[in-house]
Structure 1
Amino acid sequence: MYKAGNVLSERMIDLNKTDFCDLVERIKDSFMEIDSDIMVDLKKQDIEYADMCQKLGEMESRYPFILEVTEGSGAISLTAEEHEIVRKYMSRMFEKETIERCQIYFRGHTDGYVYLKKIGVV
């Protein structure tokens, strides 16, 4: 907890709660665009990530049953070989999503720092 008289705590108390709520709403409203921008930047900056995305797309094209499993409905049966392909696909997809979550996490820290600096807290 902040000590009384601390410049930082005084600044935090002075912040208008409405301004904070507006920021939260603005972020919620534009999250899909922000998320898309982050993924575009990630593909440009991380060759391994871009390669992973390409390989996943190639797997989806080469093995149409993958999308039947992940996006279809109803019953489906797979051979042992197809099951192994889907398993590998899902594993690679998990790796890709982990990279994306890390990027969003770090972007949040960066954006949060910039925001705090802008309002004079840092």
Structure 2
Amino acid sequence: MEKTDFYDLVERIKDSFMEIDSDIMVDLKKQDEDYANMCQELGEMESRYPFILEVTEGSGAISLTAEEHEIVRRYMSRMFEKETIERCQIYFRGHTDGYAYLKKIGAI
């Protein structure tokens, strides 16, 4: 394998990353009921409490009641848990794909 072949693979992965990432998240929702429920719960929180998106995606000053602050805190905590699961899934998928690639090119 030439050095340029490696760089071509890196570029192909970079170019396809958003699609690969989306596929991983779709698979994760299908395979992990807790993760799917967490995604649904977060979506319901965003619908029920529109101020969450004002905090996470809005601009400018806003103020929250103590109750709203607690809801945002719970939402952010849940979002962190979700993102941790996603990062782990991407990490392990990378190992799986890397192993398959090395096997395909005869390196292992």
Do Structure 1 and Structure 2 share a fold, with TM-score over 0.5?
Answer: yes
How do residues 1-122 of structure 1 correspond to structure 2 at under 5 angstroms?
A: 15-122=1-108
Q: TM-score, normalised to structure 2's length?
A: 0.99
Q: Distance in 2 between matches of 1:24 and 1:75?
A: 42
* CA offset digits 1:60-79 (Å, max 9, x no partner): 00000000000000000000
* CA offset digits 1:5-58 (Å, max 9, x no partner): xxxxxxxxxx31100000000000000000000000000000000000000000
Shift of 1:102: 0.1
Q: Computing the radius of gyration over CA atoms, which structure comes out larger, 1 or 2?
A: 1
What 5-or-longer segments of structure 1 have no aligned partner?
1-14
Q: How many pairs are equivalent?
A: 108
- Superposition RMSD in Å: 0.3
What 5-or-longer segments of structure 2 have no aligned partner?
none
Identical aligned pairs, as a percentage?
90
Runs (4 or more) in structure 1 with deviation over 6 Å come to none
Q: TM-score, normalised to structure 1's length?
A: 0.88
| SS of residue in 2 equivalent to 1:78 | coil
